[in-house]
Amino acid sequence: MTSATNHVGVSALSHPAWDAEPSADLRRDALAGLERGEVIVLPKIGFTVLPVELDLFSPRIVGSLKNVSFDPASARIGGTSAAGDDRRTLSKMLARFSHQAAALVDRLLPAYRGRVTRGRTSFRPVEIAGRKTSWRKDDTRLHVDAFPATPVHGRRILRVFTNVNPEGRPRTWRVGEPFDAIAGRFGSALRVPLPGYASVLQWLHVTKSRRTPYDAMMLQLHDRMKRDDGYQQRCAQLTVDFPARSTWMAFTDQVSHAAMSGQYQLEQTFLLPVDAMQEPDRAPLRILEKIKNRRLV
Ligand SMILES: O=C(O)CCC(=O)C(=O)O
Ligand SMILES: [Fe+2]
């Protein structure tokens, strides 16, 4: 499954089903692995796509966009040109996936129960390899996740991904060096913005809530990583193939990742407060606060 290796972690766990009851060992390994910054792969967990849903598997449903997005709280779907029955079919598929991903997180990570909140769900029907985008939006470059419009205020970004490629093709990622190495390399260049700037962004509706100094620095880090061609090529990294019908999860604000190729994926985002972690000192918030020697939220 992997080539090369250097401190970067990808671990497979033999969890059998979305709603299976995991053993205590499995739960401990999942929690510790995720917080250490590993990608946890669940090779046996696939998502069952119904025939009516499969009929909609085409990049055409997103037009010039890359994702269909779904809000599980309101059941509102966006980013697709599908209408009528097709739109309802897509919504149902995303709702079902979202529900299963939430059940998985609940069972596998009971330590986070009651603290983790469900964010957006997405369906990604466009082939990644060869997709044309600006460097900032180019997810074939290694990066940590940061959201420009929806600040996380220090919370962790936990994501569950499932490869639903109907032809059995893998999704291929690169996984980069650990967060403390990234922070060590780029941290001194990250700037805490002037206090008034966050208010202006919110007032202009660039952000939906206040962009904290942490959010601003994570965006800078995301950009600095992506923009640095030498870093992209030379930093410690490994290539990972996630097979069709497999699921994987990671704190993508911590794990340096790049999606290199693949088509048709489902994804669910969760947010977790830092104080819900077993080891909060591993959070990007705490690591950046230590480097800057000040609070960032
Ligand atoms: O689509 C993927 O496989 C991952 C892309 C990515 O970088 C992300 O969703 O944060
Ligand atoms: Fe990402």
Phi, psi values for residue 267, rounded to 5°: -145, 140
Confidence of residue 8 (pLDDT cuts 50, 70, 90): low
Percent of the chain with pLDDT over 90: 87
> What residue type is 173 in one-letter code?
W
> What residue type is 67 in one-letter code?
N
Q: How remote is the CA of residue 100 from the centroid of ligand 1, in Å? A: 19
Please say whether the beta carbons of 255 and 175 come within 8 A.
yes
Q: How remote is the CA of residue 212 from the centroid of ligand 1, in Å? A: 23
**Is residue 1 classed exposed, middle or buried when 0-12, 13-18 and 19+ CB atoms within 10 A define those classes?**
middle
Confidence of residue 1 (pLDDT cuts 50, 70, 90): very low
| Residue 145 Cα: closest atom of ligand 1 | 10
In 3D space, the residue among 248, 225, 220 whose CA is nearest the CA of residue 237 turns out to be: 225
The number of beta carbons lying within 10 Å of the beta carbon of residue 211 is 26
What pairing do the DSSP bridges indicate for beta strands 39-42 and 10-12? parallel
pLDDT of residue 258: 98
Distance between CA atoms of 142 and 188, rounded to whole angstroms? Answer: 19
Q: Indicate which residue's Cα is closest to atom 1 of ligand 1.
A: 259
Q: Indicate which residue's Cα is closest to atom 7 of ligand 1.
A: 139
CA–centroid distance for 186 within its chain: 21
Tell me which long-range contacts 215-218 makes (C-beta under 8 A, separation of at least 24). Answer: 215/146, 215/147, 215/151, 215/152, 215/153, 216/191, 216/192, 217/190, 217/191, 217/192, 217/288, 217/292, 217/296, 218/144, 218/146, 218/152, 218/253, 218/284, 218/288
Q: How remote is the CA of residue 145 from the centroid of ligand 2, in Å? A: 5
Q: How remote is the CA of residue 270 from the centroid of ligand 1, in Å? A: 14
**3-state DSSP assignment of residue 90:** helix
Q: pLDDT tens, 17-54?
A: 898 899 999 999 999 999 999 999 999 999 999 999 99
Q: pLDDT tens, 92-127?
A: 999 999 999 999 999 999 999 999 999 999 999 999
Q: How remote is the CA of residue 82 from the centroid of ligand 1, in Å? A: 23
In 3D space, the residue among 43, 20, 56 whose CA is nearest the CA of residue 163 turns out to be: 43
Q: Indicate which residue's Cα is closest to atom 4 of ligand 1.
A: 259
Instruction: Give the global pTM.
Output: 0.95
Mean pLDDT of 267-296: 97
Q: Which residues line ligand 1 at a C-beta cut-off of 6 Å? A: 124, 139, 145, 171, 252, 257, 259, 265
